[in-house]
Structure 1
Amino acid sequence: MIVEWLNRLRDCIDYLEEHLEEKFDIDEVARISLTSKFHFQRLFHMITGITVAEYVRKRRLTLAAQMLATSDAKIIDVALKYGYQSPEAFTKAFNRIHGINPSEVKEKGISLKAYPRLSFQLQIKGEEAMNYRIVEKESFKVIGVSKKVTTVDGENFKIIPRFWQEVNGNGTCEDLKKYCGDLGMLGICADFDHEAEEFTYMIASEKTVDKVPEAFEEREIPAATWAIFESIGPMPHAIQEVFKRIYSEWFPATGYEHADAPELEVYLPGNPDAENYKCEVWIPVIKN
């Protein structure tokens, strides 16, 4: 099953590479992967550390730089070739990647960044087995605070730990703990917008009383089937590694697919900096 999935992933990269000069069609890529659009984009991001849109953008700007450096093509023509409707938009994106403007490409001593085509290989690592359990749970409500998080260049892995530091420092976590249910404190990843390359991250607890402070927002977590994984080790590294293993190893090996629902980080009592700290990752799933 893993080899079959790896081959489909390679087919997706083939398609993306062959259509870099055309409008980005994520629906067709998902069709090739034989998964939902949501599932493919989440898998791709967790395995590679970048979104599909970011990969396409970086590959286009790599080829655009090569074209400008080795030909007499006009900037506007290169911009249009790789999907930019104006020189201004192209220049802004080009500068963000290469650190220079397109007009500077041929200047002596200028260096450009190249983002190579992705390739995937099957590696037998001898990792420990991933223990998990499947749980059905009815819908429930949570309360807490949230913020939009970008996934560009893996910034979410930096922003979320800073967010936790902030709410721990200003007393918000202590206030939320007053309303905790059996699940304890929660980190919730929701509202995935793959085109905008962002999602909402919420630090929350179960809603256990009717009246809560106005400073907290409320959200309903839908009824779902959850695959639950244990994380052991200091935060945030341990839980980030569990997420990566879920997407790079567990999903391809089991035939499950991500359901279009929030992901939960369940923080159990204990010292989150300890080597033996235990928490859980809850992933909403459906069986293929």
Structure 2
Amino acid sequence: MNQVETVMAVQKMQDYIDAHIYEKITLKQLSNAAGYSSWYSARIFKEITGRTSFDYIRASRLTRAALVLRDEERKIIDVALDFVFDSHEGFTRAFSKEFGLPPKRYSLNTPPIQLFMPARVFDTFRAFHKGGMKMSEKKATKTVFVQIIERPARKVLLKRGFKATEYFAYCEEVGCDVWSMLSSVKEAMYEPIGMWLPEDLIKNGTSQYVQGVELPLDYNNAVPDGYDLIELPPCKMMVFQGEPYNDDDFMEAIGEIWKHIEKFNPNIYGYKWAPETAPRFQLAPLGYRGYIEARPVDTVN
């Protein structure tokens, strides 16, 4: 069994878990989805994901339960039963072990917590075996939509790396689970973003590339260990959005936008680049909406 076949078998088990998260799931069902014996399926699942299938399922259910408690007014027991926990006590123990506080206290205060949001293993495998950020010479030039948006004064909850200047190096330095913490923040103004910080926002010995989420100025909830909370002034951002693309081709989609920006002259539209006024940022690459990246600008006097 080669590496691609192993990853695909685990991906089939991941997909089965996602599709049946509200039902009881057995190792036999997972092995049937993978097409291998129960023993072998369990071994490769742990090898690829770093968790046993039982731990993976439990963490996935607890994360979805946490989002329900964050966003809805529900009884703890009802949420527990929805996610296949047999009792209030068992759910509370599992929730407390996973997130460090009981579900009742979480539902009242909703501090940032480390959600379990694993990437699809085949997408991760494909990304790290793609062979670099090179555009395909077969691709024709595509339409890029450009607009100006204004960001108000705001706070940003962020996690710094050490030397990273791009996403993959950042993941190697701090791990790939920062997004799951940022996605838990109830007060978020927008979705989490990857950011390239201007020099005055980079602390000594930390990275240019970080991940964060923008928050209202009156945000006063907990700041998780290892995270910073900073303030940013109002700014203008020029947003570039490419055409929808096949998720397999996200690197090419990013490269196309970067190539377009390199040639783009904002002066034609009455703006100039202003890299020190705000972080440049990117949204999570999602094929259905096209790759989106924003650069800070000022109006030309």
Instruction: Give your verdict on TM over 0.5.
Output: no
Normalised by the length of structure 1, the TM-score is 0.43
Q: Comparing both chains, which one has the higher relative contact order based on Cα–Cα distances under 8 Å and sequence gaps of 6 or more? A: 1
TM-score relative to the length of structure 2? 0.41
